[in-house]
Structure 1
Amino acid sequence: MDFEKARFNMIEQQIRPWNVLNQVALDLLSVIKRERFVPEALQKLAFTDCELPIKVNGKDTGEVMLAPKIQGKFLQEALANHAQNVLEIGTGYGYLAALLAQHAQQVTTVEINPEIAENASFNLKKEGIGRVKVVQGCAFEMAGRLGQFDTIVMSGSSPALPTALIQSCLSPKGLFIGIIGEEPVMQAVLARKTAEGNIVTTPLFETLTKPLKNAPELNHFVF
């Protein structure tokens, strides 16, 4: 398989048409080799317009890697925010963390599954990616201990906006990027924290993906 041709087609036919036009983001998607972060058996599928299962040592973990165009969108928004200190929730294969690390001073990526966290650490080291710290644990439970970040990227969905995590971990004027909602309606959103500590959300696009473990639930009112 011609990986470079597949990568070119992924960028030009999937990612760019989704209004990912930031040249720095597009260049990073060309340079950081997506297929090198997934198991060999999935490498030919690494450029398809779909999510990929996260497998470690041949075992399906039940988690997924976001589709290329979603990761491209998230990368573009993070770069537009001039992200320097980034928190990622849900490490997966480590690919998005690797992209973010190219223009950030530090990326902290938190993964609840220890096998996935170990595999991502291996991938990042193998590819020579620095400035990424992989933390094993639940970001929603660790929020008060993680520190402050100017950008938070959630690589998965949450039924409700993780307000407590945003208030604890996002710096004033910082940006949260994630997918919020429950099937069949989910929406990628930007949430900006004002200097006064208020949270202002802006919708990006509709999509569907698996919820992250321990993500905050939506309150359902029963009458």
Structure 2
Amino acid sequence: MMQTELDLFNPASPAEPQWIGKQAVVLPGFALAWVETLLPELRRIIAQAPFRNMVTPGGLNMAVGLTNCGALGWVSDRRGYRYSPLDPLSQQPWPVLPGALSELSALAAAAAGFADFQPDACLVNCYKPGTRLSLHQDRDERDYSQPIVSVSLGLPAVFQFGGHTRSEPTQRVGLRHGDVMVWGGADRLRFHGVLPLKPGSHPLLGSRRINLTLRKAG
């Protein structure tokens, strides 16, 4: 498969928005001002709803650890993919979505041209070296007019951003700590994934990458 590459790993790269589609953009370092506030909230979320490796409908364990916060949480098991107001492990509501994270996502969405974004779900993914996320579409939300806002923390990753079919060429997009990516509209149902995470250590998060993806699911 032929691929094009957008390299944001170079510290000398400009901080201006990097458009990778008609309605898809990377905002380099956009979340850095929120990190000090978000990390304690992240620890609270994980303590209340620990990471787990969910099972796919086909019976495979997902390599990426996952939890949620917000009114709805994305879950996967033998019955399929869906959003649920309850954590299936505790049968309690998911942790509350932090106000700072709602504010960050709304501002990022607005910067990408999506006004009045009000997320009700945040998927929290934990990548360790060697783990990856295969190409897929986000199709479990009710309203595709709402964007996806993705916040990267910790180790850098290479995000794959493809077309509307799995076989189309993909761009390789470097994402660093504090970068935010937003995609919606004409780009909302593009296939995307993450290449295997390279070994390393981040001064705040150690040998892992935490990815927060905010959606309007209900």
Q: TM-score under structure 1 normalisation?
A: 0.25
Q: Which has the higher helix share?
A: 1
TM-score, with length taken from structure 2: 0.26
Q: Which has the higher contact order (CA 8 A, sep 6+)?
A: 2
